[in-house]
Amino acid sequence: MSDKITLDIPKKSDFISIIRLTTSSIVNKLEFNIDEVDDLKILVSELSVMFIRYIKDDNKNLRFEFTLDEDLIKIDVVDLNEGNFKIDEDDLSMMIIESLSDEYSIDEDNKRVTIVKKCS
């Protein structure tokens, strides 16, 4: 059985530290090692930056949906604002997401990015 946690934060760079700290606290429940925790903090930071950069509207929040299973965490990030979400394939944030996540998917139409990180 998996646990789910949802957190909405203002879509402003000032709040990225909050999502990093929250992510660290959430994965503490699982058996991630310190490097994996750091990877996850970097991932949520890059996801936040990516949405801030590509969708300029910031009237509504970013939604982080954490799903915890025994040996992995799935994080869905959704931008609740209006606007187009089209990612440049050469974007540095995308390269970081590709290298640090075990799995990822991007739904540009619904402004959603999903990453999965497994415990080693």
CATH of the domain at 102: 3.30.565.10
In this predicted structure, what is the pLDDT of residue 89?
A: 78
Which structural domain range is residue 104 located in? 3-118
Contacts of 89 (CB under 8 A, 6+ apart): none
Which tens digits make up the pLDDT trace of 61-103? 999 999 999 899 999 999 999 999 998 878 899 999 999 999 9
What is the average per-residue pLDDT within 17-24?
Answer: 96
In this predicted structure, what is the pLDDT of residue 58?
A: 93
In this predicted structure, what is the pLDDT of residue 28?
A: 87
**Domains in the chain, number:** 1
Q: Which two tokens stand for residue 95?
A: 């390269």
* DSSP code of residue 75: E
In this predicted structure, what is the pLDDT of residue 63?
A: 98
